[in-house]
Chains A and B, each alone.
Chain A
């Protein structure tokens, strides 16, 4: 059971908007810890997608955005494209565990 909870899967048609939630607790997201998001395309290593809740590294399209409120965070993807089909992971730091923690991952299917 992952410390951060994500839905196992989401789907959407090309051009649509989808969101992926990441729910934590008072020892991680709720404690003010930042949330970061990674995209893992099939058969490849994870890649940083969103850092510090809502910051896009250079090269990441502005179709990707992040937000955080309370003990949860969300990743939004607008204008869905076929190449967005991947696994998405949220990550934060847990003060009780004294460790970095990941969500269980969400598989995005573009219909």
Chain B
């Protein structure tokens, strides 16, 4: 069965950096696109970033463009999100999610349990 396990969350000061990881298992990781989706406390889901199966396609929400970088290591079955210049409004639970396609964003058929990132001084 598909398993996605996020790690790397924590408390960071405004302007700081953090890297999230998502360890994948139970499917052929290098065949599927992956996403990061976040949810601020008590708020709705917000799509953050997308990466195609081989890393050649990627896209970001305007709210994080230029500050966040999505990447993947298919040899380690792991997805990453490097978050720089963090702001208070980036405080959220960050989920990694598996797409059903390899190159085109479509929908998310599996989700991790989430990793909480808190940006606060």
- Indicate if the CB atoms of A104 and B111 lie closer than 8 Å: no
Cβ-neighbour of A48 out of B44, B45, B107 (below 8 A): B107
| Chain A CB within 8 A of B112 CB | yes
Interface of A is mostly: strand
- Indicate if the CB atoms of A45 and B112 lie closer than 8 Å: yes
Closest residue of chain A to B99 (Cβ to Cβ) is A100
Cβ-neighbour of B45 out of A34, A46, A99 (below 8 A): A46
- Indicate if the CB atoms of A51 and B47 lie closer than 8 Å: no
Bound-state CA distance A56–B106 (Å) is 16
- Indicate if the CB atoms of B105 and A105 lie closer than 8 Å: no
Most buried by B among A34, A47, A48: A48
Task: Collect the chain A residues with CB atoms within 8 Å of residue B109's CB.
Answer: 48, 51, 57
Task: Collect the chain B residues with CB atoms within 8 Å of residue A51's CB.
Answer: 100, 107, 109
Most buried by A among B61, B108, B110: B108
Mask for B42-63, Cβ within 8 A of A = 1, else 0? 0011110010000000010110
Task: Collect the chain B residues with CB atoms within 8 Å of residue A97's CB.
Answer: 62
A38 CB to nearest chain B CB (Å): 8
Cβ-neighbour of A45 out of B61, B105, B113 (below 8 A): B113
Mask for A1-41, Cβ within 8 A of B = 1, else 0? 01000000000000000000000000000000010101010
Bound-state CA distance A48–B109 (Å) is 6
Tell me which residues from 9 to 52 in chain B have a Cβ below 8 Å from any Cβ of chain A: 35, 37, 44-47, 50
- Indicate if the CB atoms of B106 and A93 lie closer than 8 Å: yes
Task: Collect the chain B residues with CB atoms within 8 Å of residue A89's CB.
Answer: 44-45
Cβ-neighbour of A99 out of B61, B95, B100, B107 (below 8 A): B61
Which A residues are closer than 8 A to B by beta carbons? 2, 34, 36, 38, 40, 44-48, 51-52, 57, 89, 91, 93, 97-105
Pick 15 A–B contacts, CB within 8 A, sort by A: A34-B106, A34-B107, A36-B108, A40-B45, A45-B111, A46-B37, A46-B45, A52-B107, A57-B109, A89-B44, A91-B45, A93-B105, A99-B59, A100-B47, A100-B105
Which 10 interchain pairs have the tightest Cβ spacing?
A: A36-B107, A100-B47, A45-B111, A105-B44, A102-B45, A104-B44, A100-B105, A48-B109, A89-B45, A46-B111
